Amino acid sequence: MTTVAPASNWPLMLGCAGVFPAQGGAVLRAPFILVGDSDMTAVDLGAFARQLDGPRYSFREALRAAGADLILVSLGTSDTLDGGAHCSVQEVLFRAIAERLGSTPLTVCGIGRGALQLRYTLSRFEHDRIDHEVRAFVSYCSTTPTAAEVGALDRVGCWPVIPRRLEVAGPGVSADSFDYENSDFDDLVIGAVADRNPLFTEELGTDIIEQTLGLYDVGGRDGESR
């Protein structure tokens, strides 16, 4: 099996992050932060990266071709929303902003527990009047919050309001079924398959890229929005 290694690693309070720049080197222009599902066990970054490379489609390569700098985040074992996982996601956001060249907004996607953690962290940033610079948030099979976690979310506003919120639809669900009036999300992204195998189909990856990175001129000189 081919080894997939990041160009650089960021140690975190809880877990770690691996950076795959689109252009090589260490320069970030359009960070795409993907937070893995940490509900059960720690995620190996190499194994996580290989999950993005199916036999017919590589989401990792599609992001690179679109000019996005992939940052994979493993938060290790399960943690409370306001504990070490929150501090780690916060650290990744701050560092991505600090190392980014230009001003292209950040894009974030969370899988399972990672989606729930992103929801809390972005909401807390906004509650504390801190600009997280995220303008698109993709939630992929988010973990259902416990009663205690619902309380933690309520204390910080429940949902972030600045980013465009996108939900990965279940297998076989079409965009026509989306309830724009009553959903917590702004739109669906489609193309997921049962058991998340492969994790990203070409349909799903293409829809995510079009609805997130498609909002910005990531190939521009300074990365400003269109």
pLDDT tens-digit series, residues 84-120: 999 999 999 999 999 999 999 999 999 999 999 999 9
Number of domains in the chain: 1
Burial class from Cβ neighbours inside 10 Å (0-12, 13-18, 19+) for residue 129 reads exposed
Paired strand residues for 34:
72, 109
Instruction: Give the C-alpha separation, 191 to 172, whole Å.
Output: 8
Q: What is the pTM of this model?
A: 0.93
- Would you state the pLDDT for residue 107? 98
2 domain-assigned: no
Banded model confidence at residue 27, pLDDT cuts 50, 70, 90: confident
Q: Taking residues 16-33, what's their average pLDDT?
A: 91
156 domain-assigned: yes
Instruction: Give the C-alpha separation, 203 to 189, whole Å.
Output: 9
3 domain-assigned: no
225 domain-assigned: no
87 domain-assigned: yes
Of 204, 214, 120, give the one whose Cα is nearest residue 167. 204
Residue pLDDT, tens place only, 179-219: 999 999 999 999 999 999 999 999 999 999 999 998 887 75
- Would you state the pLDDT for residue 78? 64
* Residue 90 amino acid letter: Q
The CATH code of the domain that includes 145 is 3.40.50.1820
**Complete DSSP assignment for 13-29:** SSSEEEEE-SSSTT-BS
1 domain-assigned: no
3-state class of 46 per DSSP?
helix
Reading phi first (left if > 0) and then psi (alpha if -120 to 50, else beta), residue 204 is in alpha
Parent domain of 37: 8-215
Give the residue carrying structure tokens 């996005």.
Answer: 68
221 domain-assigned: no
226 domain-assigned: no
